[in-house]
Chains A and B, each alone.
Chain A
């Protein structure tokens, strides 16, 4: 029998960006909050020895221990799903701050088009533009309604940037000026401007200068140390939950963080949650934490798993297309790139920062005409300089052997003579892309692994090729001696890193038939349960997700507080 602990106002499952923001907002408003995090505690001092590519970059020191929990994967329902035994396609966060500790900090707003994608696509191109099986839907709120929440997240994190000339309207400038521009970034900007495109500095959560946020939290400027993505920041310059929202929540005296607490069930009765059941992973003991409100912020896969394991919300059935939990899984189409080799120029690409880059959105969203194209949406195109660490970066011109004398000579020659222009393609949901529970494989606690059924579609193949063509045009203008570009987007495979931009599964919307949560991230089927994160995205845009995750967390916090006062459904 599980031991039952004293009741709290709110229990939060998973303490990353989403959980951290909600904890800070609710405790500031006077609620008592318990945060349950399955991983360990973390602090900036842990990263003094972090410039270690092998340990953090290739052995995944900061990520989820896959021996305890992973996902299974299959391309279609016709084949057997098998576990992701080692890391590849995406890297899962674990520990205080979640993946927010080892992210890059590229912080983009989605486009107005995204939030009304179905309506706007049909308006401009007609219904036939949406292919069979593509389940895009409006988000239930507009960009204008999202704007104040984006602004909050950007002020919280101190985003360094300049306005996107092709983006949605902003109520305020970014709180800090753009990052420094490296020669490679200037080359890209100049080339793009010559091509009449609209480059702007990548919005960055690595600070361009020291910054104090509205909560009074001060952080130092980024040192361009080049160990950002997959690493923690030893300066506290990169915005992460541990150096921003968590100290604010703790200072109220109303927030209790319990690490090493793996939540396994949401307990509920008569359409309302009563609390959660979790395992203390240090003792194996099962505990029950009763609460008036349950907030689930454990990232896409665990959000879906908790819903399905707890019997909350109707599971998605791909055969009939009904049900909501697990529906509209989407990802990111990242391989539409062009690689440039420069015989006559060297770059200081050993230096860099997680979100040092220049981006353009001329081929993103519906910023261009799709009438004659076989895809909708698009992607951002960027040149980013995150630091070319030497184990992971050994580019050689196409046709060079991958080992031996020629490989070595070329990889050394081009080590500092290589730039890449990359497309970050959006990803549309399809009826047969979904998450459910695996019938065979179990986690360390005996619960099923989440099963992922996903592959790239014609939409993705067309988009990737289109983007790589545009990237190559820019690269040519930049004067590369040799350019290699994507020729064909193969099938989705789980073995090479693409991005940790998994989305969907507990999506938001205006109708309980096609969404699990409303636009406050409140469950239609259980009004005191809020499920927050990229799991709420009905599709994924041509950008990194976290500005939108952060914005939704602020909106959810507002909703939770309202619910606490009045009760009932918020919409």
Chain B
């Protein structure tokens, strides 16, 4: 285990170097190249019509190509909308990276491609009736279908209201659209707008903080931001001590520990 009191421990990033992250905020959601990586960086590059902060170019020295990273489920337009929306839900700020830089869009994409997207371990047998709120979700649609519909509706609503696609809207406009979904101000016939928003929000947090093996929490930066040590073999030595920062480790580190 790393020395928890070592000031240079990576968990201290937020305390030691707030300015390193400043540019992320200034760049809004479109943080581009360095952290996000080529594929996504170009996807969410704002269209010429929007005035957003300048892009950090792709292929800068810091970029390491990650061949594990490409969508399994979303098309590029969907990935772009998810990128923009999750970055508003969990934006980059002084404390650290937002959804985009953490790889949340890829996380959600990968989850929808598998078991979770198909609701495979859930009771999906008919008959389907509308229930009381206390009875929980009673729809026949699976998560991947709800996402497809939800993203299309985000797009439709943005077009109707602002005559632009969601990803091209200014951040404040994007917030307005998301709020309209969150509050069910948008009335949809197929799915519940607020139900979709809730799922988008919770999967954003999952992507920010799950083990990096799932495609989010890039380089454990989600964990570092909040001084969370990830996966440790033991806390027996620190449990009765005051708070200390412990450099995080992931399940990949654990793999070699046994």
Query: When the two chains form their complex, are residues B210 and A54 in contact, meaning their CB atoms are under 8 A apart?
Result: yes
In the assembly, what is the distance between CA of A405 and CA of B96, in Å? 12
Question: Given A83-B123, A391-B206, are A351 and B227 neighbors across the interface (CB < 8 Å)?
Answer: no
Query: When the two chains form their complex, are residues A493 and B133 in contact, meaning their CB atoms are under 8 A apart?
Result: yes
Question: Per a CB cutoff under 8 Å, which of B137, B201, B204, B214 touches A86?
Answer: B137
Q: Is B2 an interface residue (CB 8 A)?
A: no
In the complex, how many angstroms separate the beta carbon of B101 from the nearest chain A beta carbon? Answer: 13
Q: Is A53 an interface residue (CB 8 A)?
A: yes
Q: Residue of B at shortest CB range from A51?
A: B231
Question: Given A48-B258, A53-B209, A403-B89, are A408 and B134 neighbors across the interface (CB < 8 Å)?
Answer: no
Q: Residue of B at shortest CB range from A65?
A: B121
In the complex, how many angstroms separate the beta carbon of B223 from the nearest chain A beta carbon? Answer: 7
Query: When the two chains form their complex, are residues B229 and A75 in contact, meaning their CB atoms are under 8 A apart?
Result: no
Question: Per a CB cutoff under 8 Å, which of B138, B210, B239 touches A82?
Answer: B138
Q: Mark A479-495, 1 if CB is under 8 A from B, else 0.
A: 00000000000011111
Question: Per a CB cutoff under 8 Å, which of A59, A75, A356, A404 touches B134?
Answer: A75
Question: Per a CB cutoff under 8 Å, which of A74, A223, A353, A408 touches B90?
Answer: A408
From 234 to 282 in chain A, residues with beta carbon under 8 angstroms from any chain B beta carbon are: 234
Query: When the two chains form their complex, are residues B239 and A180 in contact, meaning their CB atoms are under 8 A apart?
Result: yes
In the assembly, what is the distance between CA of A408 and CA of B133, in Å? 28
In the complex, how many angstroms separate the beta carbon of A199 from the nearest chain B beta carbon? Answer: 17
Q: Mark A492-509, 1 if CB is under 8 A from B, else 0.
A: 111100000000000000
A75-B132, A409-B95, A411-B226 known, 7 other contacts, Cβ within 8 Å: A82-B131, A83-B125, A85-B137, A226-B232, A350-B227, A351-B238, A352-B235
In the assembly, what is the distance between CA of A82 and CA of B120, in Å? 19
Q: Which residues of the partner chain B approach A215 to less than 8 Å between Cβ atoms?
A: none
Question: Which of B121, B234, B239, B242 is most buried by chain A, counting CB atoms within 10 A of its CB?
Answer: B239
A residues with a Cβ closer than 8 A to B are 48-49, 51-54, 58-60, 65-67, 70, 73-75, 79-80, 82-86, 88, 180-183, 221-227, 234, 345-348, 350-353, 356, 390-391, 394, 402-405, 408-409, 411-413, 415-416, 440-442, 491-495
Q: Residue of A at shortest CB range from B139?
A: A85
List 7 interface pairs A-B (beta carbons < 8 Å), by A numbering.
Answer: A83-B125, A86-B119, A180-B236, A225-B233, A403-B178, A404-B91, A494-B136
Q: Which residues of the partner chain B approach A182 to less than 8 Å between Cβ atoms?
A: 239-240
Query: When the two chains form their complex, are residues B93 and A408 in contact, meaning their CB atoms are under 8 A apart?
Result: yes
For chain B, the count of residues having a C-beta within 8 Å of the partner chain is: 66
Q: Is B67 an interface residue (CB 8 A)?
A: no
In the assembly, what is the distance between CA of A495 and CA of B234, in Å? 33
Top-5 shortest CB links A-B:
A351-B235, A493-B134, A223-B234, A51-B231, A346-B243
In the complex, how many angstroms separate the beta carbon of A477 from the nearest chain B beta carbon? Answer: 20
Question: Which of B96, B122, B201, B241 is most buried by chain A, counting CB atoms within 10 A of its CB?
Answer: B122
In the assembly, what is the distance between CA of A334 and CA of B244, in Å? 31
Query: When the two chains form their complex, are residues A82 and B135 in contact, meaning their CB atoms are under 8 A apart?
Result: yes
Query: When the two chains form their complex, are residues A440 and B136 in contact, meaning their CB atoms are under 8 A apart?
Result: no
Question: Per a CB cutoff under 8 Å, which of B122, B133, B209 touches A85?
Answer: B122
Q: Which residues of the partner chain A approach B182 to less than 8 Å between Cβ atoms?
A: 403
Question: Given A59-B116, A86-B136, are A223 and B235 neighbors across the interface (CB < 8 Å)?
Answer: yes
